[in-house]
Structure 1
Amino acid sequence: MSDFHRIKRLPPYVFEQVNRIKAAARAGGADIIDLGMGNPDLDAPRHVIQKLVETAGKPRTDRYSASKGIVGLRRAQAAYYERRFGVKLNPDTQVVATLGSKEGFANMAQAITAPGDVVLVPNPSYPIHAFGFLMAGGVIRSVSAEPTPDFFVSAERAMLHSIPKPIALVVCYPSNPTAYVASLDFYRDLVAFAKKHEIILLSDLAYSEVYFDGEPPPSVLQIPGAIDVTVEFTSMSKTFSMAGWRMGFAVGNERLLAALARVKSYLDYGAYTPIQVAATAALNGPEDCINEMRGIYRKRRDVLIESFATAGWEIPSPSASMFAWVGIPEPFRHLGSLEFSKLLVEKADVAVAPGIGFGEHGDDYVRIALVENEQRIRQAARNIRKFFESAPSTMHNTLRTDAPNG
């Protein structure tokens, strides 16, 4: 298989290496506390499940669906954008339903990328942001991930030194994996940058509703004129704990969305109609389930920070997303994130995501997902504390001289 051109362009999927060790440990009877994959463990809202059950199994809804999404669903997404961001969208031309935001990104890459096209992608960033374009024959140039003036310094440098000129710039706030949140001022500068350089903006807003402190995260489409150059991707996976349902959206520029819809029309018939009907009920329904989800993740975040600090591992507090982006403790940093992540599975029965999986600039970090309950998070902290305390005597060949505080 390694002879296939597109497969050769993909590096080894580092998360798979941790998954293999995790599976072997579980097969051996270990109770692994899995804080690795951002896979929500909460129930989807009851009224959404009821709508799915009510709609499934009927000849009319079991047939092929609409590739760009049924009309009611696209209208519901447009209504959500107006309610939440004050952004008016035409559901017929400016909204496309996708099979999660990941598929949307990958097919947008297929739609707009010619072989050799350069795309600017933050590093570290969620893998599909880069690999979607690599699979489409594109070339990736890394820019800063943090929404500060440094972002524009690195983006200007990338524009200057890229041949051919980049066609698109990817952003993701609240960010996976770093949990950075962008401000409207940052987005204002971002839109000005895109227009100045005549490039496409692709914004991943999958974590728009998972926030804990301060104002709700904004959309880049709130900036006047952003829709001229932007497509934004959202997902129901985290907002409604519907990850396995594979329901997301691309909204924004009509010309870009027409290209996406055309590619999709050749590749899929859209999500199963009852899922689209249930997703419509979620978007049009009560928001108490969203507030409840937010409250659960906030409590888990607070428990993570407090219990891991007691274990000797200081964790910066994320203000949004369902992740903490955490520096590897100094004595282990030289191992790199993949080896450190393997060690945590083997020695502490805790799985995290190695930062290298999000780009080479992530290798001093691991990503910890808030996908286990508070009791399990406290147990993970106790396991890690024991590992840190025993590490100097059991791992002297691997460690640097100064061990973490126990």
Structure 2
Amino acid sequence: MELIKAQKGTQDLLPIQTGKWQVVEDVMRSEAKIHGFGEIRTPVFEDTRLFQRSVGETTDVVQKEMYTFNDKGGRSITLRPEGTAGVVRALLEHGLYNEGLPQKLYYFTSCYRYENTQAGRLREFHQFGMEMLGAPSPMADAELISIAKSIFDRLGVRSLRLEINSIGCPDCRAKYYEALKAYFSGYKDQLCETCLGRLERNPMRILDCKSPICSKIAAGAPRMLDYLCDECKEHFESVKSYLDAVKIEYNVNPAIVRGLDYYTKTVFEFVSGDLGAQSTVCGGGRYDGLVEEMGGQHLPALGFGLGMERLIMIMEKQNIEMPEPETCDIFIAALGEAAKVEAFRLAHSLQEYSIIAACDLNDRGLKAQMKYADKIGAKYTLVLGDNELESKKAMVKNMKTGEKEEVDLSKDFVEQFIVLQAKGEDDIAF
């Protein structure tokens, strides 16, 4: 029978890998808590119109990459390609804007995009995201950027560049669009088919095209920074002043527009040189018009998404030390039915004190049990048989040193084992 394998662009995370993810996630949860963010969890699939309306019809995500299908009721459903739209939908549906502003939310989420797979780019990928809804101040932009940087710093990630830009508001962007149309119209015969379609509807999307020819043409295009209105210019200058105040270094990069249509004003990316073509590990910005676009009241907002797979890749390439996965504290081997019952009882009593304890579940002989204990990395072993049950005495073996110490089974075994652990951690031989 043919072995069914994971689909292209997906991967299994095995226990040896998930330990690394948990370390990273713990840092992210801690940082979110410090800044007053609460966790939100949204469905993996949504009404397709949600993403068409929020992400933008002219983006590659909507045009080429979404996993969209009709369900049994004939409704068009899409697996989420990003996290922000679902969060805004939940905010409106549940009236979270009535619970005090800003609403600070974070999430760990899986996302789905049908695209060519390569290192750092999968069809199912995972993000840590933070959204701040109802926060118009440029201070909020700087806070969000500082949180992302703090996560990288706490994890020991090196050599990341922070690049920022402003893509203005609808008012000043209208003038910029006209300038872009005039510029790109001179290259109609060279633009790819997709960018020709963008020329009239959203010329700024051309700046984000991955085609080498379009990218070369875009390099000489007008810059949004030269078209900012006074309010947008003041906002951007304030963001920079707040970043300067906390000594966060940045580079103003006029080429950053981000790949989703809902962004306004501040956009930013943390870029790594360790990822090849997929250099962006974290990206985000302000989306002041999205809540209103989705049927709510005007509510300034901003957020970012941080790619988990890409972050782990960077950490591995930089040889950042990660804690070793926790292994079994003690394996209790048993010979005979009565000993099996006692082994199960002892393991259960240890587990109640959060001690990682195990006993044999496969009716193996003693030699096979000890071999299994070695495979699972048991730090200590205890062997129970008729003699041990009768005498109420047994030997606990330190698997690293080979040293043994007798324990009294008629007394509290948990207490005795905790003492042994403490002695072992202090490198005191018994």
Q: Same fold (TM over 0.5)?
A: no
User: What TM-score results when the alignment is normalised by the length of structure 1?
Assistant: 0.23
Higher strand residue share: 2
TM-score by length of 2: 0.22
When Rg is computed on C-alpha atoms for both structures, the one with the higher figure is 2
Higher helix share: 1
Give the structure, 1 or 2, with the largest relative contact order (CA under 8 Å, sep 6 or more).
1
